[in-house]
Structure 1
């Protein structure tokens, strides 16, 4: 159900990681360190960690594989990919493409499984001593389970876990640009990405204007429909459970005084389609500001001071992405450095790119993907000392 334009964009994004890491393979440089003793020489080598288990989510079934596998193959590792049980076909298609591209048999391996088997397969990958590295993208709760399993054999681990991204709009912001960024940051993939904004914080002086323009933009520019329709920007949510979570968050917020500005219910197209929704009069006591919704729900909190906004944004136990809009240069530096997240968008609602390091802080994960740093997750550093020279 993903809109065709977004699906095509994902494939191009997927390919970009393979192109990027094909070049990064050339730059796995070691080092020569001056020794304190005249009869010694010190070398630093980088070597592949070994077999890497790649566990990926359903929301980007191609890109989340290539971002990990591209780095692993460039480092010299073999991989075992366990795709999400909802989206195994992309992983299998990539396997066929790997064969066509000349990747040797046994280098890229896929282990699809049913929903009932996924926990057991994940445990085997994390506990098998032949596996040297785990890379996982998914929920924080599942990541913690995998970390416990991996601890038994002290594996190298990369984790890209849950997000709860704040989107702050200060009084000095360009409102039109902030609204455009909000649309992109919140409703991409129907709100089902780990870097989607989960809570909007808008300063008092600009709040009403932002909410009004945001609502009009949602109604004008977002279209729910079939993924094959060129006009469609919003497809269905992944399953009934996802829709129920959005409904639960809306009901909780409204019961505590929030107002539905636009949307707020299932779409007439079908049970997994949901109207893009905007809430105002939201407080930090509501579920939609405490949990990651992972759906097309935009709750707006009004704040008065910069310090208040920073405190609200940093109150979460996760920190993947954060966004803010401001035209004050001093404020831009202060806020960018104070936000407790791994990635910051300043006057920008989309931050993901092949050349930039992707990852979070706190309980949003460990390590970085993409960029020149991504390949390091699959390399061991070995120190070699030559003596008696």
Structure 2
């Protein structure tokens, strides 16, 4: 049985399997993916890619890069470019309008949940620098929302919002960035922006997540597997590894010579 959805529902499915027929499971669950922007990154590319990483599909993506850690020396410049990329590339409006990129949230309950998280972010002391409101007075439209001055003890940094809300924090060293990225119950995906190949390989190796993108985000290919670590689930979709989820190994041993 393959399931894609929330971690809460994934737990219920596991409970059901354990209490019935021990059905083999493949679970692709929630996420709170981190994007790390290093001091040597191509900032214009990083801003565009990182914005796409969180605001794609209205933020309703399990692998959304909803936490961004930026080296403190480039934070202000990156933020300027990130907000610009958000304004230019994610027009919110009628999904039947050809220019619209972000339509309404999926339903009223999710719409209200997202707005509640925005209020939580404000109460926790995060700085709202862009968006943060309902758009218009009809439908479930929410502006792309950007928080800064975020820390890992904030709920908007730890809990999956599943909407167009991003929390941005800073780091001093690559070691600290890796530690911050791994300080999460989830491990579905992650990203790193750098022009140093050694840094890219190191961060990719040390982030505990199933998929790492370097200088891009949300790039998929049918031949490469996708799946999470920790409470983001287990098993893989796509690629040859996905076939293993639907097969069982059997061993048959035949004694050709019955004489001892």
TM-score for the superposition, normalised by structure 1 = 0.64
Find the counterpart in structure 2 of residue 292 from structure 1. Answer: 160
Instruction: Kindly state the Cα deviation for residue 220 of structure 1 after the two structures are TM-superposed.
Output: 1.8
Instruction: Kindly state the Cα deviation for residue 285 of structure 1 after the two structures are TM-superposed.
Output: 2.3
Unaligned runs of 5+ in 2: none
Which residues of 2 match residues 306-385 of structure 1 at below 5 A? 306-385=174-253
Question: Are residues 1:147 and 2:14 paired?
Answer: yes
Question: Are residues 1:205 and 2:53 paired?
Answer: no
- Answer 1 or 2: higher relative contact order, Cα 8 Å, separation at least 6: 2
Find the counterpart in structure 1 of residue 148 from structure 2. Answer: 280
Summarize deviations over 1:87-125 as a string: whole Å, max 9, x none. xxxxxxxxxxxxxxxxxxxxxxxxxxxxxxxxxxxxxxx
Find the counterpart in structure 2 of residue 304 from structure 1. Answer: 172
Instruction: Kindly state the Cα deviation for residue 203 of structure 1 after the two structures are TM-superposed.
Output: 0.7
Instruction: Kindly state the Cα deviation for residue 171 of structure 1 after the two structures are TM-superposed.
Output: 0.4
Mapped contact 1:201–1:302 kept (Cα < 8 A): yes
Which residues of 2 match residues 104-119 of structure 1 at below 5 A? none
Which residues of 2 match residues 130-279 of structure 1 at below 5 A? 134-152=1-19, 153-268=21-136, 270-279=138-147
Mapped contact 1:343–1:351 kept (Cα < 8 A): no
Mapped contact 1:261–1:280 kept (Cα < 8 A): yes
- Local SS of the residue matching 1:229: coil
Mapped contact 1:342–1:361 kept (Cα < 8 A): yes
CA RMSD of aligned residues (A): 1.3
- Local SS of the residue matching 2:237: coil
Unaligned runs of 5+ in 1: 1-133
Q: Find the aligned partners of 1:200 and 1:367 in 2 and give their Cα distance.
A: 26
Q: Find the aligned partners of 2:137 and 2:89 in 1 and give their Cα distance.
A: 18
Which stretches of structure 1, 4 residues or longer, exceed 6 Å deviation after superposition? none
Q: Find the aligned partners of 2:124 and 2:188 in 1 and give their Cα distance.
A: 28
Mapped contact 1:319–1:363 kept (Cα < 8 A): yes
Q: Find the aligned partners of 2:101 and 2:202 in 1 and give their Cα distance.
A: 35
Q: Find the aligned partners of 1:188 and 1:274 in 2 and give their Cα distance.
A: 13
**Which protein shows a greater Rg?**
1
Instruction: Kindly state the Cα deviation for residue 269 of structure 1 after the two structures are TM-superposed.
Output: 5.4
Mapped contact 2:182–2:208 kept (Cα < 8 A): yes
Q: Find the aligned partners of 2:215 and 2:244 in 1 and give their Cα distance.
A: 30
Q: Find the aligned partners of 1:361 and 1:218 in 2 and give their Cα distance.
A: 29
TM-score for the superposition, normalised by structure 2 = 0.94
Q: Find the aligned partners of 1:338 and 1:300 in 2 and give their Cα distance.
A: 21
